[in-house]
Structure 1
């Protein structure tokens, strides 16, 4: 589908950027920190829950990322078989109620998701993007009803969607500093982004040879 095509293009840009970084800074090439996989594995949040029903959400993500290296988890926001969404999503943002895939006779939902990778420097899950196809008039009504926020449908933004005054679109956010941190093999966000950090954090990082920008 269209969402998958767009996600694949974004992934090609990220892996292409990694190749450029490695060419320019060959000292970053380290067998301890292998390159990102060329292919992104697509999986529904419902499938991950079925695979690891005993684990909480973040641990499920970590396990699936350890298995594939990089994944796009779609269907975030819809209530899963355990009675909870994989993660909460705004009702007037991405379309997470849309019927999408039928696997083994099971209907799934959601035209949104996150790109997550395994960070070999930190040894943890690493989210790069959160994105999706935006709500239509129909999915907006349904999602606002589920979220018990129907009273907000009178707001100008919501009225523009309901009256088809806003074109259908896809969007989201790419964590710029998170991508830089990953590609430059850094252990902390502060190594690529300047901000105010507590004195204690600077002291801890210095002990571990992590150079937080000041």
Structure 2
């Protein structure tokens, strides 16, 4: 999905507003599914979080400096909040590494922002992650962000050593103001179905080719893979 925005909307407050609107739809879908299939509204699992909590990747690193990235996310979701939006994915954090790599030519992860206590942060992008009580693991639903300007495109391509990309048609269109400012992202539909339907495997909600051994393992655990 993609939406045209104005220069004034290139800020954290607007990013959070859009994230909350997306989450409102997902939460509403969860309620609809539970009403349609009451068996899903079980005390076996905690209820869906009504709201997300927002944390910058730098704040999460501060909480768990000795853990690698995925384990930091897991601890946050398990111990702090079952629904998160992690801001600022792509910029190098204080440990010398980005929370996760991001392409240099779509999300803006370089622009300067301010943290909750006024500290310097970077990035107008992030991921929605939730705690999956079935798998007891982190579960990413969407990656999204406010897109680069021609200025931050140059900065990010320089950081990533890809300045030759500036000669390509898409990048030239950004530099020449032929593409409007926007916010956008991708929602993992199958992952979202897994989360809403409380399933343990992607194969329960989407048809694909799965190894015979995997199907046998799933069957032994009463996991019904679609064929």
Same fold by TM (over 0.5)? yes
User: Is residue 42–residue 73 contact of structure 1 (8 Å, CA) maintained in 2?
Assistant: yes
1:117–1:125 contact (8 Å) kept in structure 2: yes
- Across the aligned residues of Structure 1 and Structure 2, the Cα RMSD in angstroms comes to 0.8
2 CA distance for matches of 1:124 and 1:200?
22
Q: Shift in Å at residue 152 of structure 1?
A: 1.1
Query: Secondary structure of the equivalent of 1:115?
Result: strand
Q: Mark the CA change 1:164 to 1:55 in structure 2 (over 3 Å): closer, same or farther.
A: same
Corresponding residue to 2:125 among 109, 112, 121: 112
* Pairing 1:5–2:23 present: no
Aligned to 1:95: 108
User: Shift of the alpha carbon at 1:175?
Assistant: 0.4
Equivalent residue number for residue 90 of structure 2: 77
Quick one: higher RCO (CA 8 Å, sep 6+), 1 or 2? Answer: 2
| 1:174 aligns to 2:187 (yes or no) | yes
Among residues 142, 155, 165, which one is paired with 2:155 in the alignment? 142
8 Å CA contact 1:112–1:133 kept in 2: the answer is: yes
Partner of 2:167: 154
- Where does residue 23 of structure 1 map in the other structure? 35
Q: Is the 8 A contact 1:121 1:185 kept in 2?
A: yes
In 1: Cα distance, 2:41 partner to 2:55 partner: 29
| Structure 2 residue 204 is matched with structure 1 residue 184 | no
How far has the Cα of 1:171 moved from its partner? 0.7
Q: CA deviation at 1:103?
A: 4.1
Q: 1:157 to 1:202 in 2, by over 3 A?
A: same
Moved over 6 A (4+): none
Local SS of the residue matching 2:115: strand
Aligned to 1:205: 218
Match of 1:123 in 2: 136
Which runs of no fewer than 5 residues in structure 1 stay unpaired?
Answer: none
Cα distance in structure 2, aligned partners of 1:107 and 1:123: 34
Residue by residue, what CA displacement relative to the aligned partner does 1:79-107 show, whole Å, maximum 9, x if unpaired? 00000000000000100001112344520
